[in-house]
Amino acid sequence: MPPPLLAALIQGVALGGALLLWWHTALPWVWTVVMQALLACVLARVAGMAWWWQLIQLAFSPLLLAAQALSLAPQWYLFGFLLLLTVFYGAARERVPLYCTGPRTVHALLRHLPETEGLRLLDVGSGWGSLLAGLSRARPEASFVGVENAPLSYLLGRLRLAGRRNVHLAYGDLWRQDFAAYDVVYAFLSPAVMERLWRKAQGEMRPGSLLISNTFVVPGVPADEVVEVGDRRGTLVYLWYFADGAGRRPQARA
């Protein structure tokens, strides 16, 4: 079931449960809303929804109650929905939320990028350009491309990376990108798409290229190397090398 439809179903079930509780206990409306929100969050967790969906389920009813108390004009609801959509479009469509690559991760990756002349790196789901900003500054001789499908994240990334001659940020679908055109493909996506990403990488990436995934593994495919970033989140970065015809891996900086 698509996550938005499952989320709506959970909200309905939680509302029914909260109204049943109100009917039998005459609970004040505020506490009825709180109980509905908690029940929706618990049901989302039981259903295996991602943490951001659980957060949405928890906040949905209280925010509606607050908006009603403020007597907001209907236009504000539309504005709020459109604003959320411009940021979390990927989460609704592809089950890929917005993740930002931290500076320590960027520093760790620099030690593992190949010393390929004219290196080309693709960031699939580049968000606000956190990775591209750090790498392009440290490797001015390389070329970096990012693709993002959330409108606001894309615009913020464009502003952040304006003037970087070795960076190109595109608005579009990561699945339409040709991985064969790049030496390195970097992904910080979600568990929901890792199998599909691996199939695409196997079909398109050239010998001697490198696939990097921040945090998320490919089910059933052990990484060739795991990098411990050493940040507060305990970030792990997974590397898969596509060896060349002689079985050699791309050489990274010492």
Predicted confidence (pLDDT) per residue in 174-189, tens digit: 899 999 999 999 999 8
Task: Record the tokens describing residue 205, joined without a space.
Answer: 């990436």
Asked if 187 and 218 touch (Cβ cutoff 8 Å), the reply is no
Q: Residue 106: what pLDDT?
A: 93
Half-sphere exposure of 143 (CA within 13 A, CB side): 9
In three-state secondary structure terms, 188 is: coil
41-59 confidence digits (pLDDT tens): 999 888 877 676 788 888 8
> In the chain, what are the domains?
3-72 (no CATH), 103-241 (3.40.50.150)
- Residue 246 is predicted with a pLDDT of 43
Longest dimension (CA), the chain: 75
What's the angle, vertex CA 242, arms to CA 237 and CA 224, rounded to 5? Answer: 40
Straight-line distance from the first to the last Cα atom of the chain, in angstroms, rounded to the nearest whole number? 47
Question: Both tokens of residue 219?
Answer: 């089910």
Three-class SS of residue 252? strand
Residues in the chain, pLDDT under 50: 246-248
Q: Measured between alpha carbons, how far is 157 from 175 in angstroms, rounded to an integer? A: 20
Distances in Å between the Cα of 93 and the Cα atoms of 60, 87, 89, 176, 254 are 19, 12, 6, 15, 40
The pLDDT score that the predictor gives to residue 80 is: 61
Give one DSSP letter per residue of 112-157, joined into a string.
Answer: TSB--TT-EEEEET-TTSHHHHHHHHH-TTSEEEEEE-SHHHHHHH
